[in-house]
Amino acid sequence: MPGASAKGTAFVDNFKKTYKVERIAGLGWAAPGYDSVYLLAAAIKQAGSTDGAKIREALENLEGPVDGVIMRYTGPFSKDNHELFKDSSKALMATIRKGEVVKADQAK
């Protein structure tokens, strides 16, 4: 999770300050979402364009690593693999209620 790097620490600190919270309830969603912007920006820069097909080509062939708040991404995608996180068995549907993550089946 974020915090292991200067970029991760800055992300957590800025999130807490911006939203006036002591704890990020959805850190498991916020940090990957933030990292996706870094990956998209790297692809746009590499493609030299905002054309969708060119961005996809760049994402599938990213040159060099991209430093995110969670980790350093090196070749995260390919033509045949568009899944950033390989193990989706730990995925769950959830929402945030009163600042806490609640599984979707318990959210009633």
Q: What pLDDT, in 10s, does the model give residues 57-103? A: 999 999 989 998 888 999 999 999 888 766 655 566 677 777 776 77
> Taking the model in full, what pTM does it have?
0.72
CA distances for 51 relative to 64, 76, 78, 91, angstroms: 21, 20, 18, 31
C-beta separation of 96 from 28 below 8 A: no
Domain boundary assignment for the chain: 6-106
What is the CA angle 9-34-51, rounded to 5? 145
Instruction: Tell me if 103 sits within 8 A of 93, measured CB to CB.
Output: yes
**What residues contact 35, with CB distance under 8 A and at least 6 apart?**
68, 69, 70, 71, 73
| pLDDT of 14 above 80 | yes
Average pLDDT, the chain: 83
